[in-house]
Amino acid sequence: MIIPFELTGKPVQEFKEHDPFNDNEIEGYIFRKADMRYGMLYITHVNGKPAEQIIWATPKLHYPFNKNGEYEFPKNIAMINVYEKFDGTNIFAYQYHDHLGQLFVTYKTRLRPVIRDGSFGRFETMWKEILDVYPEIPEEVFKSPYNFSFEMYGKRNKVLIDYDVPLDIRLLFGRDREDGSLWIPELVTKRLPNTPLITTIDHKSNLEDEYKRIVEYLNGEINVTEREDDQDLVQGMEGSIWYLLGGEDKFIQYKCKPDYVKDIHFEASGTIPKHSIYITCINAFEEKDDPDIEYIKELLLEEFTEEKIQKKWYTIGEILEQVRFRMKLRYEVIEEYQKHPEFDMKNDKATVMRHFGQLYDKKMSGNIYQLLWDEFGGEWMEKEEILKRIEEMLKYYAIRKEETTGTAKHNYETKFFCLKNLWDSIVCNLELPDCYKKVIYGEWMEEEKKLKLCLDDVAEDCFIYTKYDIGGEGHYITILEKDREAFLDEYTRLVRE
């Protein structure tokens, strides 16, 4: 077997770790240099028995230009796809074998051979929740010639972007197990939520101009609210990933970010932006239980020079301690909440907050409330219930639109179309119309505890009124919060009739 890196030197680290997903012990070497081999594993033993194998992982992304701003796009490009870049933790699902040839699927972060919880990070716990929602992931990896790269993102795993969803994943790409080639998500599987395609670009066009055009588009898709604590509230798209199909029928990746998050944007100032240090510190806790400033320096050296790092040495230390404090607080608060099965953040916030008010300074109550709400107050566990209900309605409409004609057929086709869009939006976590958000995620008017719903947005030519409507206003209806579930049941029954 040809090993694609030397087993000695700084970029290589030896490991021996337990795989909690298969109860195996794997050992070998991990490569840490920031190139196409970034995070690559050379596994030497499984359960103490020789089982040599190479595992390609998630490579380090680069811009299509050098530090002088000169673009370096490859020649002989056949196609270009541009996908949304998500901001979270990269989880790489890979297949390996033992000395008997038995196959296993497990999961790693960028610079660890196996994902696991740390002193302040609950990455293994969160990923197991993801597997409960998407149990088909290992099956898809087993039957594919590729290993899968995912981004795990959301409020519960925030890095820079503040997402609406508590926790979810996107399939970024597949990586061929034999030659390490990259494959766009739609060529890998259609059974998992793929990264949305933003656009395609004519390979004959001026790629430098097209790249700048996408940057301007991304600038308009990001919203930044400045805050006094220097941790800006950032919403929207973190950036995009370009996939260029080259002459050898292999895809090449480049990153493209809006000016706010683009590291190179700060090169002219001769320093490192604070948000880059902050993100690097967050990422460090994915790889080490309690990283020190030297480890942060090691990660920053992948993007910045030693001189620039030294200029920001004091700031790096400050930000590292801020991140450590927040990670520690998050871990402690979640652990304390889970000691009390009687707590219900969704329906009884007051009791929960009274308890934590006795443990922490009142000045921290806002942060603790947001942390608890993101972790325990969201609608993650209700998602499958909603999808089951919509699935039943879709099956009914699919039959009725084939059995009817004329106006009735048109009405059923419209209902089917609207509900299918709703289904796709929930599954893919796309932006939902306000009326759907209100019904599904409970965005009620706090003062009156009422829901105002526009039926025009639910289905054209189909205006459903139930006994729970307390204030019809044309095509708008108003429903009390206490009647929410009863209204959904009644709505489902009526649209079937």
pLDDT at 311: 85
More confident residue, 326 or 438: 326
Residue 194 DSSP code: B
pLDDT at 373: 82
Q: Which helix (H) or strand (E) holds 367?
A: helix 365-372
Q: Average pLDDT of 88-100? A: 96
pLDDT at 357: 87
The angle, 0 to 180 degrees and rounded to 10, between the axes of the packed helices 293-300 and 313-338 is 110
pLDDT at 377: 72
pLDDT at 8: 82
Q: With a cut of 50, say whether residue 336 has pLDDT above it.
A: yes
Spatial separation of the C-alpha atoms in residues 335 and 111, rounded to whole Å: 26
Q: With a cut of 80, say whether residue 195 has pLDDT above it.
A: yes
pLDDT at 250: 86
DSSP 151-165: EEESGGG-SSB--SS
pLDDT at 326: 86
Q: Average pLDDT of 7-36? A: 92
What digits encode the pLDDT tens for the residues 355-391? Answer: 998 898 877 887 888 888 888 875 443 455 556 656 6
Copy the structure tokens of residue 45.
């033993």
Where does 20-145 show beta strands of DSSP type E? 24-31, 41-46, 49-55, 79-85, 89-97, 103-108
How much is the pTM? 0.69
Q: With a cut of 70, say whether residue 94 has pLDDT above it.
A: yes
State whether residue 173 is helix, strand or coil. strand
Sign (positive/negative) of CA torsion 125, 128, 129, 130?
Answer: positive
Q: Which pLDDT band, with edges at 50, 70 and 90, does 86 fall under?
A: very high
Q: Which residue matches tokens 């700031």?
A: 315
What digits encode the pLDDT tens for the residues 430-455? Answer: 444 443 433 333 333 334 456 666 55
- What long-range pairs does 258-265 form, CB within 8 A, spacing at least 24? 258/215, 258/218, 258/219, 258/221, 258/222, 259/215, 259/219, 260/219, 260/222, 260/224, 260/234, 261/160, 261/222, 261/234, 262/215, 263/303, 263/304, 264/63, 264/65, 264/67, 264/69
CATH numbers and ranges of domains, the chain: 12-261 (3.30.470.30), 381-496 (no CATH)
Q: Average pLDDT of 251-273? A: 73
Q: With a cut of 80, say whether residue 330 has pLDDT above it.
A: yes
Q: Average pLDDT of 488-493? A: 63
What digits encode the pLDDT tens for the residues 213-240? Answer: 999 999 988 887 766 555 667 888 999 9
pLDDT at 268: 46
Q: How far is CA 386 from CA 42, 246, 249, in A?
A: 43, 43, 42
Q: Which pLDDT band, with edges at 50, 70 and 90, does 37 fall under?
A: very high
Averaged confidence pLDDT in the chain: 81
Of 1-15, 109-123, 159-173, the range with the highest mean pLDDT is: 159-173
275: number of Cβ within 10 Å: 19
pLDDT at 455: 53
pLDDT at 437: 39
Among the listed ranges 23-27, 105-109, 139-143, 323-327, which one has the minimum average pLDDT value? 323-327
Q: With a cut of 80, say whether residue 58 has pLDDT above it.
A: yes
